[in-house]
Amino acid sequence: MRYLTAGESHGPQLTTIIEGMPAGMPLVAEDINQELSRRQKGYGRGRRMQIEKDQVQITSGIRHGMTLGSPIALVVENNDWKHWTGIMGPEPLGDLTSDEVKRKISRPRPGHADLNGAIKYGHRDMRNVLERSSARETTVRVAAGAAAKQLLSLLGIRIVAHVVEIGGVKAEKLEFSSLSQLREVTEESPVRCYDPDAAAKMMAAIDDAKKNGDSIGGVVEVIAEGMPAGVGSYVHYDRKLDSKLAAAIVSINAFKGVEFGIGFEAARKPGSQVHDEIAWEEGRGYYRKTNRLGGFEGGMTTGMPIIVRGVMKPIPTLYKPLMSVDIDSKEPFAASIERSDSCAVPAAAVVAENVVAWELASALVEQFYSDRFETLKASIEEQRSSARES
């Protein structure tokens, strides 16, 4: 499977085209809209979320609620486009009006793609860069991930993301009985945190950051249960599934680190406290007594829950802006301010959940026959049965 996204933050719409989804799989707009709505929630979000009420339009690849096997096109319109038609429209403008001059950006913001993108493509107006590099693009990445999540759920694979740290405040109470319980609790939390005491402190930290014109980051965790063992590969570096998940996580805007299982803590422990002992039980097959490696060995799934965490830096758009240099005058200036969030970690957890879902679904489609959904499902069940009996 693969997908391509297109669109700018203040353009008319965002689009994604998905290729490789099996035919005969149930998929309706509500499956996608539910994920789009989750992405827009979260304590610390900015005013843009009050403007946009993201809803998907399915324009190809699905008929009567079932995938056809042909490319699926999904569109999400930008409601704010009506205020930006003269600034972001595709037609030549001729002489710039005073409003367009005001909207021109010659001062790159530290921490953004502005300056590097302008150097790469030769832009003198860095709005050409920031409109595409904006995290608004994750809207349709979530839409693609929602389709993947539907595929996973029909194959008996569940996936949940939650927030484990914001602004240095760490969740301590993380003992849950099931992913259903984790989902139920975190969906009701404004910061998607399972620990209510930590959640209250996280919200206070976000309030402090907003009051100070600052921003804060955090850590999100994605857990997936039900993946069959042996998905991925040890044969080539680019087919290792954990490496694909790592790439997916750090491809999310503002994510700067990733770990599996106990992650970087493994550097501070002896091997006896890092690796997972193997056991076998009739009817269950092979399993690990612990899951310190987060469901992976040798670039392949072990059948244990997949646990991956991503580190999100503070959003670099600050209401007490950092200093920068005007690319036209070369004079120092306070960096320009675009509408932004003081903390987007809770929303980013939803993005992480969906990009992980995409990689897991893509790996299954690549490894098993997948032109037809029912055949894919039967192949995976056969793999699970074989693993239990071997």
Place of tokens 């039980």: 281
Neighbours of 286 (CB within 10 A): 15
314 is in an annotated binding site: yes
44 is in an annotated binding site: no
Helix (H, G, I), strand (E, B) or coil at 258: strand
Place of tokens 């240095």: 168
Question: What does the alpha-carbon distance between residue 75 and residue 6 come to, in Å, rounded to a whole number?
Answer: 10
267 is in an annotated binding site: no
Q: How far is CA 338 from CA 258, 282, 387, in A?
A: 28, 59, 53
Region at 89 (left for phi over 0; alpha for psi -120 to 50; beta for the rest): beta
Residue 260's identity, in one-letter code, is F
Per DSSP (E only), the strands in the chain are 2-6, 13-19, 56-60, 62-63, 66-67, 72-77, 158-166, 169-170, 218-225, 255-260, 278-281, 285-288, 296-297, 300-301, 306-312, 323-325, 332-334
254 is in an annotated binding site: yes
Which of 201, 102, 125, 160 lies closest to 350, judged by CA?
A: 160
39 is in an annotated binding site: yes
336 is in an annotated binding site: no
Question: What does the alpha-carbon distance between residue 185 and residue 350 come to, in Å, rounded to a whole number?
Answer: 15
134 is in an annotated binding site: yes
Q: How far is CA 342 from the centre of its chain?
A: 18
Neighbours of 281 (CB within 10 A): 9
315 is in an annotated binding site: yes
316 is in an annotated binding site: yes
Neighbours of 172 (CB within 10 A): 11
107 is in an annotated binding site: no
109 is in an annotated binding site: no
253 is in an annotated binding site: yes
**What residues are designated binding site for NADP(+)?**
39, 45
**What residues are designated binding site?**
39, 45, 132-134, 253-254, 298, 313-317, 339
**What residues are designated binding site for FMN?**
132-134, 253-254, 298, 313-317, 339
